[in-house]
């Protein structure tokens, strides 16, 4: 296979790859990082947890793109404006690159990664207003949000507060960075939506 063919395969199967990769990451982190640097372990743990979140959004049962296009944007198109390219670059770029990058930086200085559990927490919480706006009990990603992202993110934050790594759970720059990173997603989605509407006027 040529590189472009590998790229096409990855773009079509990234969520499945991420689910498998999350299992390896869990094992690696538990064996090699947990006892060495427990604080960094908690930061790095957010990456495989979020990969499981993505698996619910895009594999089991999947359909988050369709949900967003039809139930949030109220459009009749399943694959626009939130299409395969947008979903791939946002999820892989953010969860496969940015989160682990700052997790690795936390091995040097924990301050670099303290926004990550806030990001995971807010990403989980975001599925609740999405369900309310769509007037549906369920949306893809909600179950993992409630069972993993929200409780684990909250627990890690409170642990860091208890250890005095974070002085105040709310009044700190890490919360703002984690929230801001989450807000970039609806902003980007809104831009896509407006461009889609403009093209179809």
The pLDDT of residue 199: 86
**How many domains does the structure of the chain reveal?**
1
Q: Give 3-state DSSP helix, strand, coil % of the chain, rounded to 5.
A: 75, 0, 25
The pLDDT of residue 166: 98
Q: pLDDT tens-digit profile of 72-128?
A: 999 999 999 999 999 999 999 999 999 999 999 999 999 999 999 999 999 999 999
Range of the structural domain that residue 81 is part of: 3-199
Pairwise CA distance, residues 152 & 96, whole Å: 19
> pTM for this structure?
0.96
> Is pLDDT at 1 greater than 90 in this prediction?
no
First to last CA, the chain: 41
Tell me whether the omega of the peptide bond preceding residue 191 falls within 30 degrees of 0, making it cis. Answer: no
Angle subtended at Cα 100 by Cα 40 and Cα 183, rounded to the nearest 5 degrees? 105
Q: What is the mean pLDDT of residues 24-32?
A: 97
> Is pLDDT at 26 greater than 80 in this prediction?
yes
Q: pLDDT tens-digit profile of 150-197?
A: 999 999 999 999 999 999 999 999 999 999 999 988 899 889 999 988
The pLDDT of residue 59: 97
């Amino acid at each position: 296979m040529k590189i472009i063919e590998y790229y096409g395969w990855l773009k079509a199967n990234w969520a499945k790859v991420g689910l498998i990769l999350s299992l390896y990451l869990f094992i690696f982190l538990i064996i090699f990082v947990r006892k060495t640097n427990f604080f960094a372990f908690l930061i790095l743990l957010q990456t495989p947890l979020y990969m499981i979140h993505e698996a619910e959004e895009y594999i089991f049962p999947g359909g988050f793109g369709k949900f967003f296009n039809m139930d949030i944007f109220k459009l009749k198109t399943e694959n626009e404006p939130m299409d395969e390219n947008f979903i791939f670059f946002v999820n892989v770029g953010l969860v496969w690159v940015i989160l682990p990058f700052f997790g690795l930086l936390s091995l040097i200085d924990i301050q670099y990664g303290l926004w990550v559990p806030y990001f995971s927490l807010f990403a989980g919480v975001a599925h609740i207003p999405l369900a309310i706006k769509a007037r549906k009990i369920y949306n893809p990603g909600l179950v993992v949000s409630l069972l993993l992202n929200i409780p684990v993110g909250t627990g890690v934050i409170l642990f860091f507060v208890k250890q005095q790594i974070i002085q105040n759970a709310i009044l700190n720059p890490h919360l703002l960075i984690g929230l801001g990173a989450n807000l970039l997603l609806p902003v980007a989605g809104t831009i896509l939506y407006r461009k889609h509407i403009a093209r179809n006027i």
